[in-house]
Homo-oligomer: A and B are copies of this chain.
Amino acid sequence: MIDIAHLGPVELLTPKADESLTFFTDVFGMEIEGREGQSVFLRGWGDYQRFSLKLTESNTSGMAMLGLRAWSEEALERRVAAIEATGLGDGWHEGDRGRGRSYRFRDPDGHAFELYFETDRYVPPAHLVPSLKNQPQRYVGRGAAVKRLDHVNLLAADVRPSRDFAVDQLGYRLYERIELDDGTESGAWMSVSTAAHELIYTADAYGARGRLHHVAYWVDTREEVLRAADLFLDHDVYIEAAPSKHGVAQGFFLYGYEPGGNRIEVTTGGYMVYDPEQPVVVWSEAERKLGQAWRVKTIPTFHTYGTPPVAADAAVAGGH
């Protein structure tokens, strides 16, 4: 039974709050929904909730928290019971901006999550009321004009326990994974919907814990991904990987680092999983060495860089 409806909001930390905010509004094209303390709440034009990104000033980068919305109060209770049984639960807290009581926990790798059901739907102010009533917000078209939070890729010192936790305690479906020659799992792609990936764990090259690989926002077309690359270029955003197509999950991507150092992706495409008995696709080490869908070799930092930085990452980030 699928008890999780979707992931989000995500809270990102940034040591460069002003520059990060300028990136997310002017280049990514998000709207500011509100501000509280050291945080700014941001949304894509297609997010149905009030916000999908909480950007918080900090002395470092990385992901502070990943929200998960349950399908119902009953689903919420079921998942909390399952999590509590593992001893990874942190207990109930008053919900953050716009959502009801939330259950905090950590995955085996140490990433913080909040599970909730009650949430506000977004009500646009007058200047953002859309022409089409089946759309949460006016399409402003600023910058890359990302539509909505799509997926989150976490790094884990050991992928397998966190993947098992996501499948067994949270109810994610495992669609694809990479198994190295020595039998270790270096990546796992999971989803609670027909989308081919929503929650991803990949191996942390430094064996660090609780780090973020990237947060991905959706656009509807590959042309918007290509256009985003032009915008990144002319807004001096570091492009780590220019638009191309992944082999795993077949998503079309553009990767960059926002000024705070967090890797962000503009994504679209991929395939839908309609088979209830979908077999897990297992990629071998040799297959992964073929590169991405069109045999593009993946840039080395994609396999090492994450946030918050570890010593080696800091060197990479300083180099661009």
Q: Which positions in A face B, CB cutoff 8 Å? A: 1-2, 5-6, 46, 48, 69-72, 121, 130-135, 138-144, 148, 176, 193-196, 220-224, 226-227, 229-234, 236, 239, 242-245, 247-250, 269, 271-272, 274-279, 281, 283, 287, 292-296
Per the bound structure, the CA–CA distance linking A242 and B296 in Å amounts to 6
In the complex, residue of chain B having the shortest beta-carbon distance to the beta carbon of A45: B234
Nearest CB in chain B: distance from A311 CB, A? 25
Q: Point out the residues of chain B lying under 8 angstroms from A274, CB to CB.
A: 5-6, 48, 148, 193
Per the bound structure, the CA–CA distance linking A301 and B130 in Å amounts to 27
Extra contacts, 5 of them, besides A132-B247, A221-B223, A243-B243 (Cβ < 8 A), are A131-B234, A133-B281, A139-B233, A193-B272, A244-B244
CB pair B234–A140 under 8 Å, yes or no, is yes
Nearest CB in chain B: distance from A236 CB, A? 8
Q: Point out the residues of chain B lying under 8 angstroms from A242, CB to CB.
A: 244-245, 292, 294-296
CB pair A231–B275 under 8 Å, yes or no, is no
Nearest CB in chain B: distance from A171 CB, A? 13
Instruction: Indicate whether A229 sits within 8 Å of B143 (C-beta atoms), given known contacts A132-B247, A193-B193, A275-B48.
Output: no
Partner of A276, one of B5, B222, B283: B5
Q: Point out the residues of chain B lying under 8 angstroms from A271, CB to CB.
A: 46, 134-135
Ordered by A's residue number, 19 sampled pairs between the chains whose C-beta atoms are within 8 Å are: A2-B2, A48-B275, A69-B276, A70-B276, A71-B276, A72-B276, A134-B176, A138-B234, A139-B230, A139-B231, A142-B142, A148-B274, A221-B221, A221-B222, A229-B294, A230-B293, A242-B294, A242-B295, A243-B243
Q: Point out the residues of chain B lying under 8 angstroms from A48, CB to CB.
A: 274-275, 278
In the complex, residue of chain B having the shortest beta-carbon distance to the beta carbon of A240: B295
CB pair B138–A275 under 8 Å, yes or no, is no
Q: Point out the residues of chain B lying under 8 angstroms from A144, CB to CB.
A: 141
Q: Point out the residues of chain B lying under 8 angstroms from A287, CB to CB.
A: 133
In the complex, residue of chain B having the shortest beta-carbon distance to the beta carbon of A176: B134
Partner of A223, one of B141, B222, B229: B222
Per the bound structure, the CA–CA distance linking A249 and B139 in Å amounts to 16
CB pair A131–B233 under 8 Å, yes or no, is yes
CB pair A5–B229 under 8 Å, yes or no, is no
Q: Point out the residues of chain B lying under 8 angstroms from A2, CB to CB.
A: 2
Q: Point out the residues of chain B lying under 8 angstroms from A250, CB to CB.
A: 132, 134-135
Q: Point out the residues of chain B lying under 8 angstroms from A233, CB to CB.
A: 131-132, 139, 293-295
Per the bound structure, the CA–CA distance linking A132 and B294 in Å amounts to 10
Nearest CB in chain B: distance from A235 CB, A? 9
In the complex, residue of chain B having the shortest beta-carbon distance to the beta carbon of A143: B141
Nearest CB in chain B: distance from A159 CB, A? 18
CB pair A134–B223 under 8 Å, yes or no, is no
CB pair B294–A231 under 8 Å, yes or no, is no
CB pair B135–A275 under 8 Å, yes or no, is no
In the complex, residue of chain B having the shortest beta-carbon distance to the beta carbon of A2: B2
